[in-house]
Amino acid sequence: MHNNRIHGIGLLFVFIALLISAVIGIIIYSGQETTNFQGFAESNETIINSETSVSIKKVFVMEGDSVYKGQKLAELESQELSIRIADIRSQLLQIETKRGMSEKEIKSKILQNKAAERAVISELRAQIQTLENQLKINKELSDGLKSVKIKKSASVKNPIEIQIESLELAIVDRKKEFAEINRMYSKMLESGETPENVEAEKLRAELESLEEQNANMAVYAPFDGIVGSVFIKNGNGEKVFFKGGEKIAAYSPILSIVNKEPSFVKGYIPESHFSAIKIGDEVTIANTQTPQQIKGVVTGLGGRIIPLPVRLLKNPNIPIWGREIVVKIPENNGFILGEKVSITCGSNVWDNLAKAFSVTQSKLSAKERDKKKLNKSQTTAQKETYQVTSLHNGTSIRWDGKVKIEASGAVFVPETGKFLVVSDETEKKTPLLFEVGKNGETKTISINNFNKINDLESIAKERENTYLIMSSLSYSKKGKLKPERRILARITFSDEAAQLEKAVDFYEILKDFAEKSGSEAAMFLKKGIAEKTIDIEGMFVIDNSLFIAFKNPLFNENGVIFEISGYETIFAEKKISENQLKMIFVDVPRGRKISDIYMQSPDKFYYTASCDSEKCGGFYRFENEKSELIKEFPELKPEGIAIDDGGNIFIFFDLSQQENSKFMNLGRI
């Protein structure tokens, strides 16, 4: 009891000392003034265009109209599509005209073949007849020579007899050859598998697809918002409303949509104060008409000094110069698009005093927590220390290669007690795996018989010693999709050696499925292929089902996972049928995309999601058709999930080219 009282008095003195120190520090260093300036609440504008030149049939909205997601905004016509459709129809007509001739040609070939057979067989039989006549004459001459005794041997044949046997065998062989040719022509005639028919079938499929595209050419609202601009001008350069029939070049803007609610503030800080703010600073945004205030973060600073907008000037005739800044603000902020707002950066003495008091309390609380930890058992203390170190610092992958390891996927190998990690960048696109121990020690594993692979994003274990690896199937920054970015491969790994078993062009398989199927999954793929946005980052195998997770595109703002049952057809037949594929929709938080998956079932699984525009992400559980955040990573981009044989969850992070990747042990969840 006495010791506790002494300890309490000690804590009180520590608190008073820290508080006095904080006040002195504030007086010396923090007696600064706040900086106030103004700006406008704005939203990103999404430009809608067409990948091909089009004609505008009809526009259903005007600037300023509110629209909802999926609403038809305009109907289009494509001259290129119309020309291509007319060209295919012309080709089909020509093939139909030739088809009759082709069938006659096949029948003619059959008749010619039979005639040739008769001629060849007749010639061979004539030769046999000549040899038989010669053999008869020789026999008669031999019988007439009574005085000459010829000893005959049953094992020795007359040369003429040998020639006759050879010709008879030739007749049998030639008949087989002609019969095989006749069967081939007859099969072609019965099945209709003529070159013209095959070509006609391809053209009909393409025609059907193009006619469907032409019938559905329209512009739809990608989200709820407001029509910003309708990009059409008359001969004088004045903006006018679409009347229909106007022609728009490929990728030219048709109209734009902005969010109904602002997503950022564009501010203008006077020239005399621009050094008072930097990227990452927290600022306060206030409505000029109400006391409402929210916090924002500075995400951009203009690179030059510009004149402030007239709307912000007290006297329009006296210009003021300043620097443009961009402040990201949270959703549901209550501001109106274009509204004038005030921005405050910096803090005053009282703010700093409150902050110091808060820090002091935190330090005291931390000391109390540390004291309690010391009272726990040594085992528990060691475990907690390890978890804190792992969560905050991570374990670095120790690798001395020329190219940094950018971990993009991982699996645990029970046989070795280590991880197999894939990196989306390797030197000269070499097919490599990285065997990583729990202490970060790394060894390179080359995949034998494998030429090249790039942008390797996922790895999954099939069964003992057998694994699948896959490229992202995404276009490069230069807008190219080379063969080494389209690969799904099966490899074996044992005794620290990896071997390629089989590889396929998975992009082509998905494209073929999209063209032949009318399912929702096919429409999703067609959109991704047309927009060149397909990006696969996660993969997992359960029994005979393969799960692949798309980073892009989204489907109605949801993440998408494909479940492909009986996936062996991908390698055996290089195809996927419609009844094999199911879609799983994931409510990924806005601004984040799936980066890896760990499936327990189609209805229950874990996934990581990385932020689009900044270095952050999270680890989630998906169950009952809903995502639940388990762990947030404010400054790290999670790229891989692996679970060891003890049920501990490891998250792998890609640190780009800054340093080698890291991983964390989250323990058992």
How far does Cα 507 stand from its chain's mean position?
11
pLDDT over 90 at 619, yes or no: yes
Helix (H) or strand (E) holding 630: strand 626-633
Burial (Cβ within 10 Å: 0-12, 13-18, ≥19) of residue 354: exposed
* Percent of the chain scoring above 70 in pLDDT: 78
Task: Measure the CA–CA gap between 579 and 321, rounded to whole angstroms.
Answer: 65
Structure tokens at 368: 């109390």
**Any idea how long the chain is?**
669
Which phi and psi (to 5°) does residue 224 adopt?
-65, 130
Question: Is residue 110 scored above 50 in pLDDT?
Answer: yes
In this structure, are residues 618 and 592 in contact, taking their beta carbons and an 8 Å threshold?
yes
Rounded mean pLDDT, 5-25: 60
Q: Is the pLDDT of residue 473 over 90?
A: yes
Burial class from Cβ neighbours inside 10 Å (0-12, 13-18, 19+) for residue 467 reads buried
pLDDT at 581: 94
Q: How confident is the model at residue 550 (pLDDT cuts 50, 70, 90)?
A: very high
**What pLDDT is recorded for position 232?**
57
Rounded Cα distance, 182 and 110, in Å? 6
Per-residue pLDDT tens over the stretch 567-584: 999 999 999 998 999 999
Residue 358 predicted with pLDDT over 50: no
- Helix H or strand E encompassing 185: helix 159-191
Domain locations along the chain: 1-32+349-375, 33-50+64-70+223-346, 81-140+159-213, 385-667
| Three-class secondary structure of residue 497 per DSSP | strand
Tell me: pLDDT of 605 over 70.
yes
Q: What pLDDT shows up at residue 385?
A: 26
- Strands (DSSP E) along 16-151, which ranges? 35-42, 45-49, 54-59, 66-67, 72-77
Q: Is the pLDDT of residue 244 over 70?
A: no
Fold of domain 33-50+64-70+223-346: Elongation Factor Tu (Ef-tu); domain 3 (2.40.30)
Upper half-sphere CA count for residue 587 (Cβ side, 13 Å): 10
Predicted model pTM: 0.46
Fold (CATH) for 385-667: Tachylectin-2; Chain A (2.115.10)
* Residues forming a β-bridge with 47: 256
Residues 344-351: what's their mean pLDDT?
A: 60
pLDDT single digits (tens) 21-42: 655 554 444 445 678 888 998 8
- What sign does the CA torsion over 142, 146, 147, 151 have? positive
pLDDT at position 258 is 85
- pLDDT band for position 215 (50/70/90)? low
Q: What is the pLDDT of residues 293-325, one digit of tens each?
A: 888 999 888 878 888 898 888 888 888 888 899
pLDDT band at 19 (very low <50, low <70, confident <90, very high): low
Q: What is the dihedral of CA 510, 512, 516, 522, to 10 degrees?
A: 20
Is residue 98 predicted with pLDDT exceeding 80? no
CA distance between the termini of the chain: 40
Per-residue pLDDT, 157 = 65
Mean pLDDT, the chain, as a whole number?
80
Min mean pLDDT across 427-436, 482-491, 573-582 is at 427-436
Mean pLDDT highest for which of 33-37, 263-267, 355-359, 593-597? 593-597
pLDDT at 150 over 80: no
pLDDT of res. 400? 63
What is the pLDDT averaged over residues 427-440? Answer: 88
Does the pLDDT value for residue 341 go beyond 50?
Answer: yes
